[in-house]
Amino acid sequence: MAQAMTASNRFRRAKLKVKRANSHISTLIRDSSPLSKSLYEITNGPTRSIALLARPDGYGLSYRSKEPIADHFGVVIGDAVNNLREALDYSINTALEAIGQPKRVHFPFSERWQDLKSSHYYAPIERAFPEAANFILEEIKPCRDTNLPLWAAASLCNQNKHNDFIPTVSVVTVENINARIGTTVMQNSSIGGNADGYMKIIRSDQPIIMDGNFSTSVEITFPQGAIFESEPVVSTLQHMSEVVEQTLDSFEYFVTQYIK
């Protein structure tokens, strides 16, 4: 009974890694909708229609990113996936510790289920705790062709696929633009463009009066060639996190039942 309690305590450590991953996902949501104003600025003032002009010849309202926005989100995505991977590693090491086999191993995965038994990470688990290895093989199936979200959580970090972590970020809308140009009034207008650059919103030969109630939201998707190509990042990561948490629950139940 004491061993089971120890295993349970350590599985909670694994679940804390999932909780940490979820906090990174929350950061993605917080910083993307609306887009954090620390990442961009809207400028309003004199401008030049031709860059070489000595003096401004008009007025412009423009959007400009302050830093590479895709890189900002890429770091957060990487942190989320890293924590999910670490949660899985914690779980298998907890299982070995629970039966008196403290040995540093990694949670196994493979592209195809039929290749899992011959994968690099499976063999040491099979030698130390064959029943756990078989449970992973037959019940969890952390393979691309049988459990894609779990396979992605396990494989992305180990295969060092950093390109999968740099998302495609586009400005969906700069919303709630309320401005006056002379006698012309714009109300609740919106415009879309590239988030990672410069965008002219309004050009005029008269000063632009604008309130500050606008907001900018972005859509974050996985890049071309990534495992989840063109899929929305937030909902994909949320699903990966749910699958990892469910896996921890089922594996914890197996381990605690086995060592009683």
The DSSP letter of residue 35 is B
User: What is the pLDDT, as a whole number, of residue 127?
Assistant: 94
Please give the Cα distance from 60 to 82 (Å, whole number).
43
Please give the Cα distance from 116 to 128 (Å, whole number).
16
Please give the Cα distance from 57 to 40 (Å, whole number).
25
User: What is the pLDDT, as a whole number, of residue 260?
Assistant: 55
Q: What is the 3-state secondary structure (H, E, C) of 222-234?
A: CCCCCCCCCCEHH
The token duo for 202 is 């309004």
Q: Are 221 and 231 in contact (CB under 8 A)?
A: yes
pLDDT tens over the chain, length 260 residues? 334 445 556 688 899 999 999 999 999 999 998 899 899 988 888 887 776 676 778 888 888 899 999 999 999 999 999 999 999 999 999 999 888 888 899 999 999 999 999 999 999 999 999 999 999 999 999 999 999 999 999 887 655 455 678 898 877 678 878 888 888 888 877 788 888 888 888 888 888 888 877 888 898 999 888 889 999 999 999 999 999 999 999 999 999 886 65
The token duo for 118 is 């011959």
Please give the Cα distance from 126 to 157 (Å, whole number).
23
